[in-house]
Structure 1
Amino acid sequence: MTVQSADAPAPALCHIVTPIGMLGYGVDVKQVDAALEKFTATGEPTALILDSGSTDSGPQKLALGGMTVPRGSYVRDLQKLVASARKFNVPLLLSSAGGSGTNYNTREIVKIIDEVAHRNPTGKFKVVALYADMDKEFARERLHAGVVTPCSSAPPLAEADIDESVVIFCAFAEYCYQKLNLGEQLDKYTRRGTFTHVGEILECGGLCAEPKGGGVIATIRLDGSFEITPMAPNATCTPVSVAAHTLYENTRPDTLFGPGGHIDLSNSQYELLEDRRTVRVRGSRYVYTKETKGIYQIKLEAAKLAGYRAMYVGAHKDPVLIGQMEKFLATVKGYVKMEHADVAEPWELEWHIIGKGDNGNVPQEVGLIGESLAPTQELATSIVAKAKVATIHAPYRGLKATSGNFAHGIGGLYTVPLGPCAEFCIYHLVELKEGEERGGIDAPLFRFETFEVGEEPMETNGTSAAAASEEPAPEVDDEKKKKIAAMKKQVRVLNADPLTSLSDDPTLGELATVIRSKNSGPYEITFDVMFDRESIYQAVKKSDILNTEAVARLFGIPIEHVIYSGFFDQARAYKVTTARLRNGKRVPAGGYMEDDVHGSQMYLPLLRKKLPEGLKNEVQKILDRTIFVQ
């Protein structure tokens, strides 16, 4: 529901500045400092908070110990953020440190903060690291006790999953709420619901704004409401853009799950304020599973090593071959099997085919990526090496270009060893015993460690070492300023042309403002279709062209793989969530033969869905009335 009100806001409880949706993606320090200067001047609690991790990019970080971005990217962002936090004396909070939040990643981020603190001295300060790796015996004991259940569409947990996992990480929150010491004036349902809802929005930075990107700030008020404002001067938040973010990466829009319960957003309200770029949100309520089910659950995440991968890359341009790709690749695989007939270990070989063409049209060029999976790197590389030989030289019906079938040589490599292949194996909820959710120095599950870092600054001619080491900002001439302003203006009006008429054969893509797909955890894909006009949204909703059965037919999947389907009026949106499938089987994101780890390019069937004649006529009437009024 979108509301507009002239009521005076309640007093502020605290302010949160989120510079970007992911640590390491880059920070506009001028915008950060401007926001911190404004909020700290009020004397009200203020913090810098941003996310640093996600399962979106696959299981590699959990299984192999890497981080989301190169180490240097973390260094650059933390140099700015630590300096701003110290300058304005506000806390800096990072969630899912280093990409996964495991103890290894958390310690690595602590090291970087320590390096930054010594490189640009601003005095000594404390860093608190929260650890949440789980012992395998803990998971095994709870599995045997029958208190482990799949999260989202994950399969039931097997003991082999625990044995093969590299590290088991736990998503937790209770200790953070213990230390918050804010909002105690609110009832516990509003307090937890408000802070959790704010976190759900801020963790993606300015994705809730138009145009998306950059940072965002939030003010939480004593009545449980909160306000969201984008940091970029050319961006705006709208009730629909903020409400729509509750759909993002979630199975359903009205119920968002977390440790110990979920947020109920079925009665949430979104109000555009007078500045036309800030949105006030009300009605976020938390439901505690201790009260509804008598249990407290947390989520466990883990990945295992599934083998080693290798690949080769190139393209086919012969239309005769492109017309018989399936048969040709079967010939290639047959040759590889023959060459490895003496190998007893199991191995796999498949292809990513890019640019197949639609409606029977033969494309001028098809990209081909062969990918292998085997128990050793040597075998995986051997498989793609033999496959590439056959791809270049295997015969096919109608062959004329006898010198070779395959354009290759990209990057100067014949084959590309890819190293270990990771695969999600644990994405499950586990019940805790009374008191286990609480953290501390000697807590049984969630413990913390405190470090003192930094050193006192050295004065150089009256200037601090940190300031002396800063490079002067480059001069920007007037002509360049004009170009930047013009670019910002252009960005703001992208996709702003109003719909005035339909094509002869209209699709859902013509009506919708947003059609997108994204992971909802490693085992699901969720799709959102949003409309900017209430009248068109209601016409689509009434037409019943979007429902469980229609989506199953559209994507060619069994109806049991459709997990959720429904409309969310607050965002003028339809949402549907399905299991993540490959060749008809449920699979987690990021493993062997993954070609869209974010799931962000799976929405095309919805975009191309044809409108029935009745809906087409109804929408055209709406458009005609709009033109007449204008």
Structure 2
Amino acid sequence: MPTRVLVPSGVLGLGFDREALARGVAARPDIICIDGGSTDSGPFSLGAGQSKYSRAATKSEWRALMLARAEAGVPLVIGTAGTCGTDSTVDWMYDITAELARELGQELRVARLYSSQPAARVAEAAAADRVTPLPPSPELRLEDLTNIVALAGAEQIQAALETGADIVIAGRTTDTATIAALPLSRGDAAGGAWHGAKIGECGALCSTNPTSGVILVDFDQTGFTVEPLATGARCTPHSVSAHMLYENSDPFRLFEPGGYLDVTGATYTALDDRRVRVEGSVWVPGRYTVKLEGARIAGYQTTILAILRDAHYAANAQAWVDRLTGFLHREIETRMGLARADYMLEFRLIGVDAALGALENRTGSPVEVGVLGIITARTQAEASEIGKLINPFVLHYPLTDDEDLPTFAFPYSPATTDRGALYEFALNHVMVLDDPMSAFRIEVSEIRTEVPA
């Protein structure tokens, strides 16, 4: 019998087709797997240990999945809970689960897989030459990291499932681990398990209707078959094979804990107008390593936003910013005594180069230009003070000395906003483990519905 994995969406919080989910449950899956996050949105979630998704959206979608799990009678697994997979976001997800269990009257065994790493453990491994940098990699400096996580693989998910858990809430995992775990433990082809997990990691992104979310992946001893469940959605050899390029620098190899997937010899066959069959993928075992991710505070930020609508200023926005920036640096040094090395002041022109900055190679004639000033300093108080100092000049500074003082628009008052801590990624390394569980821990909780006396 094949191992059938139901994937409701590429990530919890992004939404999915509820009718397609019902079809998936009716297809009698062996497990329901969904991802909870990634590093796609930058280092803030990891640095702060917070989910980027709203609690309300998470609870709404998780409610539907908990009901689907109960109807199907199979385990429900989420990886990288709470966007970043720190211990704090695993517990955040557990609190939502316990709250829903009480509301739904469900009695559950919940396994929490924790992925956070104490700095001392990583330092000890580094001293033993068991931590290796990946390019590009920052200097290994552990003393000021706010959070460190290790990416769990299939073995850690398998250990959580072996507790008999109805629900597994995992910390940081590889995107594929939750999907590959059960097929691997059942003896399905290792190459097919990892390849199918890679194709299914983002739900229906491997189909012609990527926003529909829900797919089924059937694994067996020679490969896997993938099928989208939304009405009108189709998987094609092109849409499936193309997903090996998604977030992967090598279209033929994918590294995971304990080895790598090689799809050089894989074949993609359309079984009909919806399903694709894949065979020929190979798993190449290797040393057991887990990737490390870490974040640290890189400063504190304040932003300011003004809008240039005068045609003369909109057409000469870059020249205005260049002149303003030099003036402001002199004012900050004179009035606050800060050297350039003590802070950063950057202006991005929305409608001109806000996304790419100096790399922008397209030009246009916008009606208005938004001027976003970004101040980064050693403390929030310092960044806020710089923001207040530059405020009147960002809103009234002239393009030349012989022009009338201009007036610009600003969309909100005050024009400055304190953003708080700015985080940066500070680890891109792998750590060798002799035992896959040595850097992870599992806690199992029984959630019981109280019966009125």
- TM bucket by the smaller chain? 0.7 to 0.9
Q: Aligned-pair distance for 1:400?
A: 5.1
Matched ranges for 1:53-68 at <5 A: 53-68=37-52
Matched ranges for 1:8-157 at <5 A: 12-39=1-28, 46-122=30-106, 124-151=107-134, 153-157=135-139
- Write the distance in 1 (CA, Å) between the matches of 2:124 and 2:189: 34
Q: Does the CA contact (< 8 Å) of 1:13 and 1:220 recur in 2? A: yes
Matched ranges for 1:349-428 at <5 A: 349-356=345-352, 362-397=365-400, 402-404=405-407, 406-408=408-410, 410-428=411-429
Local SS of the residue matching 1:126:
strand
- Write the distance in 1 (CA, Å) between the matches of 2:152 and 2:194: 12
Q: Aligned-pair distance for 1:183?
A: 5.2
Match of 1:248 in 2: 246
Q: Aligned-pair distance for 1:156?
A: 4.5
Match of 2:223 in 1: 225
Local SS of the residue matching 1:249:
coil
Q: Aligned-pair distance for 1:397?
A: 3.1
Local SS of the residue matching 1:407:
coil
Q: Aligned-pair distance for 1:169?
A: 0.2
Q: 1:322 to 1:47 in 2, by over 3 A?
A: same
Matched, 1:300 2:292: yes
Q: Which runs of 5+ in 2 are unaligned?
A: 163-180, 354-360
Q: Does the CA contact (< 8 Å) of 1:332 and 1:387 recur in 2? A: no
Q: Does the CA contact (< 8 Å) of 2:5 and 2:31 recur in 1? A: yes
Instruction: Pick which of 309-318 and 204-213 moved more.
Output: 309-318
Q: 1:249 to 1:339 in 2, by over 3 A?
A: same
- Write the distance in 2 (CA, Å) between the matches of 1:104 and 1:314: 37
Over residues 494-536 of structure 1, what are the superposed CA-to-partner deviations in whole Å (9 max), with x where a residue is unaligned?
A: xxxxxxxxxxxxxxxxxxxxxxxxxxxxxxxxxxxxxxxxxxx
Q: Return the letter of the residue paired with 1:138.
A: R
- Write the distance in 1 (CA, Å) between the matches of 2:233 and 2:291: 35
Q: Aligned-pair distance for 1:270?
A: 0.8
Over residues 454-493 of structure 1, what are the superposed CA-to-partner deviations in whole Å (9 max), with x where a residue is unaligned?
A: 41789xxxxxxxxxxxxxxxxxxxxxxxxxxxxxxxxxxx
Matched ranges for 1:177-576 at <5 A: 177=158, 179=162, 180=181, 182=183, 186=187, 191-274=189-272, 276-289=273-286, 295-341=287-333, 342-344=336-338, 346-356=342-352, 362-397=365-400, 402-404=405-407, 406-408=408-410, 410-432=411-433, 434=434, 436-437=435-436, 439=437, 444-455=438-449
Q: Aligned-pair distance for 1:149?
A: 2.2
Aligned sequence identity (%)? 29
Over residues 282-320 of structure 1, what are the superposed CA-to-partner deviations in whole Å (9 max), with x where a residue is unaligned?
A: 12211122xxxxx32110001001111111122223343
Q: 1:64 to 1:156 in 2, by over 3 A?
A: closer
Over residues 328-352 of structure 1, what are the superposed CA-to-partner deviations in whole Å (9 max), with x where a residue is unaligned?
A: 2233223333333234471111011
Q: 1:407 to 1:63 in 2, by over 3 A?
A: same
Higher relative contact order (CA 8 A, sep 6+): 2
Q: Aligned-pair distance for 1:391?
A: 2.2
- Write the distance in 1 (CA, Å) between the matches of 2:412 and 2:191: 51
Q: 1:385 to 1:331 in 2, by over 3 A?
A: farther
Over residues 76-129 of structure 1, what are the superposed CA-to-partner deviations in whole Å (9 max), with x where a residue is unaligned?
A: 11111111111221110000011111111111111110000001103x220011
Q: Does the CA contact (< 8 Å) of 1:27 and 1:80 recur in 2? A: no
Q: Which runs of 5+ in 1 are unaligned?
A: 1-11, 41-45, 290-294, 459-630
Q: Does the CA contact (< 8 Å) of 1:331 and 1:394 recur in 2? A: no
- Write the distance in 1 (CA, Å) between the matches of 2:426 and 2:88: 19
Q: How many residues align?
A: 420
The two structures have a TM-score, normalised by structure 1, of 0.63
Q: Does the CA contact (< 8 Å) of 1:15 and 1:217 recur in 2? A: no
Matched, 1:163 2:143: yes
Q: Aligned-pair distance for 1:399?
A: 6.5
Q: Aligned-pair distance for 1:375?
A: 1.4
Over residues 195-250 of structure 1, what are the superposed CA-to-partner deviations in whole Å (9 max), with x where a residue is unaligned?
A: 22222222211111112112233343433311111121121111000111110111
Q: Does the CA contact (< 8 Å) of 1:191 and 1:224 recur in 2? A: yes
- Write the distance in 1 (CA, Å) between the matches of 2:2 and 2:17: 26
Aligned pair partner of 2:157 in 164, 169, 176 = 176
Local SS of the residue matching 2:42:
coil
- Write the distance in 1 (CA, Å) between the matches of 2:330 and 2:184: 69
Q: CA RMSD in A?
A: 2.3
Local SS of the residue matching 1:277:
coil
- Write the distance in 2 (CA, Å) between the matches of 1:144 and 1:121: 50
